[in-house]
């Protein structure tokens, strides 16, 4: 073992999911641009035999071409398909689901909600950056858009769960959910800070995970999981980070150091692969490094989860 590999293993912890035969499984992975966590998640699941559909905000075909090339090199021939999806746009979510049903039928085994954006800590956005419909963009994309997509795909997941007793929703959150506050989920109570807004969006996803588990695990055998992938080195576009020119230049200059101490995208994808694939895995829980982890106390507030669910359903018009 080289000195480089020894030092990196000493400082960068990364568990790997055990391979599982996923032949016959139909899986959606959102946010799968080349070099991203979603890309590596989709590649691994397809290599294990699943039929995978990936989404990107643009140029979805490039992700498919890259994944197919890697699958061919590995000797696999599973189908990978793609479609554009912008979670911040209601019409885009509806269009994607319609396309999926027409192209792939009315069943789905696993939904991996990986897509999201993250405005930088030193972002130029000192005030909330709003979407066309008036929401802070991280909240609109990471939480509301994901909730909308999940809501529309739930009937397909329920159908699979009732037939096979194993359908799954995997929500990629972050340890930065600790930056969020339950008080802010129903209207801002603090001055705007982009990382706290990001934390709010991930905290909300954790509440959604718990409520999905409570409502659908017993009724329809749909299990819900949330996870922290770890600190991962991917390109700026892959991470969804947007910052100032100075910050981007500084990050580029320091990227070799950053890459040494952070996980690769392949390493970071392991826990979401684990949650999407491992048999008899307990749902309604928070995972990290392919094992159970401890979430914040705020994420365990069942009353807040139920209230947020009801308000989100009202927004969705459900």
28-64 per-position pLDDT tens digit: 999 998 889 999 999 999 999 999 999 999 877 787 8
Backbone angles phi, psi at 283, to 5 degrees: -95, 175
Residue 149 lies in a domain: yes
Task: Specify if 3 maps to a domain.
Answer: no
pLDDT the model gives residue 115 = 96
**Residue 1: per-residue pLDDT:** 43
Q: Kindly state whether residue 12 falls inside one of the protein's structural domains.
A: no
Q: Is residue 7 part of a domain?
A: no
Higher pLDDT, 129 or 145: 145
Residue 211: inside a domain, yes or no? yes
110 or 251: which leads in pLDDT: 110
pLDDT surpasses 50 at 241 = no
DSSP state of 130: B
Which single residue is written with the structure tokens 């981007």? 248
Distance CA 144, CA 96 (A): 16
Instruction: Judge whether 4 lies within some domain.
Output: no
Q: Are 108 and 28 within 8 A, CB to CB?
A: yes
Asked, for residue 75, whether it belongs to a domain, the answer is yes
Q: Look at 247 and 188; give whichever has higher pLDDT.
A: 188
Q: Between 37-47 and 270-277, two packed helices, what is the crossing angle to 10 degrees? A: 40
- The answer as to whether 203 is a domain residue is yes
Q: Residues 15-20: contacts with CB within 8 Å, 24+ apart? A: 15/270, 15/271, 15/274, 15/289, 15/290, 15/291, 16/267, 16/270, 16/290, 17/44, 17/270, 17/271, 17/273, 17/274, 17/277, 17/278, 17/290, 18/278, 19/48, 20/48, 20/277, 20/278, 20/279
pLDDT higher than 80, residue 83: yes
What is the domain range of residue 224?
21-316
Q: Which residues are catalytic?
A: 198
Residue 66 confidence class, pLDDT cut points 50, 70, 90: confident
CATH number at residue 139: 3.40.50.720
Percent of the chain at pLDDT > 90 equals: 66
Number of independent structural domains in the chain: 1
Of residues 202, 225, 204, the one with CA closest to residue 213: 225
**What is the pLDDT confidence band of residue 213, given thresholds at 50, 70 and 90?**
very high
pLDDT at 293 over 90: yes
pLDDT at 256 over 60: no
Instruction: Check if the beta carbon of residue 199 is closer than 8 Å to that of residue 177.
Output: yes
Give the model's pLDDT for residue 253: 54
Q: Which of 1-15, 67-81, 237-251 ranks highest by mean pLDDT? A: 67-81
Q: What is the pLDDT of residue 193?
A: 87
What's phi and psi for 140, nearest 5 deg?
Answer: -65, -40
pLDDT over threshold 80, residue 96: yes
Question: Could you give the CA distance from residue 292 to residue 299 in angstroms, rounded to a whole number?
Answer: 15
pLDDT of residue 29: 97
């Amino acid at each position: 073992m080289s000195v480089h590999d020894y030092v990196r293993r000493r400082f960068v912890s990364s568990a790997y999911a055990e391979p599982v035969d996923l032949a016959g499984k139909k899986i959606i992975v959102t946010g799968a641009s080349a070099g991203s966590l979603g890309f590596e998640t989709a590649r691994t699941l397809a290599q294990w035999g699943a039929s995978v559909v990936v989404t990107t905000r643009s140029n979805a075909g490039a992700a498919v071409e890259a994944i197919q090339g890697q699958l061919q090199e590995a000797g696999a021939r599973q189908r990978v398909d793609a479609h554009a999806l912008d979670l911040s746009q209601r019409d885009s979510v509806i269009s994607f689901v319609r396309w999926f049903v027409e192209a792939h039928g009315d069943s789905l085994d696993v939904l991996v909600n990986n897509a999201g954006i993250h405005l930088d800590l030193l972002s130029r956005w000192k005030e909330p950056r709003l979407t066309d419909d008036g929401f802070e963009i991280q909240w609109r994309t990471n939480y509301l858009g994901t909730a909308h997509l999940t809501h529309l795909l739930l009937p397909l997941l329920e159908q699979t769960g009732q037939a096979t007793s194993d359908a799954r929703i995997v929500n990629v959150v972050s340890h930065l959910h600790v930056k969020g506050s339950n008080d802010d989920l129903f209207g801002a109570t603090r001055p705007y800070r982009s990382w706290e807004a990001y934390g709010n969006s991930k905290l909300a996803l954790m509440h959604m995970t718990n409520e999905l588990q409570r409502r659908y695990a017993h009724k329809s055998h749909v299990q819900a999981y949330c996870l922290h992938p770890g600190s991962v080195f991917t390109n700026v576009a892959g991470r969804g980070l947007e910052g100032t020119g100075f910050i981007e230049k500084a990050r580029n200059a320091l990227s070799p150091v950053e890459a040494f101490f952070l996980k690769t995208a392949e390493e970071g994808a392991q826990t979401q692969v684990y949650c999407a694939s491992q048999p008899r895995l307990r749902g309604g829980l928070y995972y990290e490094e392919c094992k159970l982890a401890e979430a914040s106390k705020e994420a365990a507030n069942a009353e807040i989860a139920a209230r947020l669910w009801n308000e989100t359903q009202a927004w969705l018009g459900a």
